[in-house]
Structure 1
């Protein structure tokens, strides 16, 4: 049975979306999206009553929403592909796509809720050291991935006054300058979700510790 067969397509698409989320996280774009959209909380479901019960049941709020979504896509896609292959072996044909999606979704939601518990226990809780983004200005950062140019930011790691690491997108303050992986920069200003840095050598950086 082909992975690209119609009955498997919803699950292949789900795993493709998971790969896209992973790519966004690796490039740092995912952090910008989370900060801009406040994806770490689901405010509409934080109220008491049914909303709070649904939030707890689904495991929302235990981990950032992007992580919760990635976990759900992984479980949904895996259950769907394995389930379709298993059903085809037993009955000679897989389920129709709609029924397969409903079955995989019904199984994936509670399993994802269970997975959110250990994930939430091991992940750092940003709200305990929540800071204003402007508090990161005048702090050292280290370019982690890519080369930052004017109009093309790169992902950088900066430590706040609590000792908590943050990943931000940085462009050079000097438009003629490039900031490369491993460069130390001083964050001098911020526009929206993008910081601007000045390259220099800091003997006190110690971001690897």
Structure 2
């Protein structure tokens, strides 16, 4: 039995999506999918759902124990492994696999608690950093590498900045000097920010001494 057989289609899709996420992380697109991944668990005292109860439930599933992207990739692998194994067991016992949507539903229900259990030892292995979240303003006065394209006034280029904790951020950068161009592969100093756009200065630019 192979992963590409029709009754295993949901699990093949899960593995394909997991590989896509891995590639996105490798080439630096992970932040586009992560966004603001933190879950707000604060509820009013008179709300119908208790924030503590919800937080406890999510913790049992492993959500919040490890970064959301890692949790999702783990879930996809566990989901596919349980699903394919379940289909093989069904063929052995019943002579035929489960209908694919039913198999996906059963595998998803089983994968959630299993993924929660697997997240606990992984949580202990991952480095802890209680102050790793930084604001965009803290990236000003840091170096940025122009990664894609040429930055011109009105036409920012995608750039990579490393924050104080060593974490990469991908931001859009324009030249601080309207007449300048910032080329791919060049390292510049971010001197100011307006909204989501940062402005950089080349190190040999005389304007740098005026900032």
TM-score (norm 2): 0.74
- Tell whether the 8 Å contact from 2:149 to 2:184 is kept in structure 1 after alignment: yes
1:158 aligns with 2:162: yes
Cα offset for 1:129?
3.4
Change (3 A) 1:199 1:77: farther
- Of the two, which has the highest radius of gyration? 2
CA distance in 1, matches of 2:19, 2:33: 16
Question: Does the 8 A contact of 2:143 with 2:188 survive in 1?
Answer: yes
Task: Please say if residues 140 and 186 of structure 1, whose CA atoms lie closer than 8 Å, have aligned partners that are also in contact.
Answer: yes
Q: Is 2:76 the partner of 1:73? A: yes
Give the superposition deviation at 1:71.
Answer: 1.2
- Cross-structure match for 2:12: 12
Could you list the per-position Cα deviations for residues 139-160 of structure 1 after superposition, in whole angstroms to 9, with x for gaps in the alignment?
12456xx534335744524141
How much is the aligned-residue C-alpha RMSD, in angstroms?
Answer: 2.9
Shift of 1:72: 0.7
Q: Is there any run of 5+ residues in structure 1 with no aligned partner, and where?
A: 202-209
SS at match of 1:189: strand
1:38 and 2:36 are equivalent in the alignment: yes
Match of 1:185 in 2: 188
Contact persistence 2:187–2:202 (CA under 8 A): yes
Q: How many pairs does the alignment contain? A: 191
Separation (CA, whole Å) in 2 of partners of 1:126 and 1:153: 30
Ranges in structure 2 where 5+ consecutive residues have no aligned partner: 44-49, 205-211
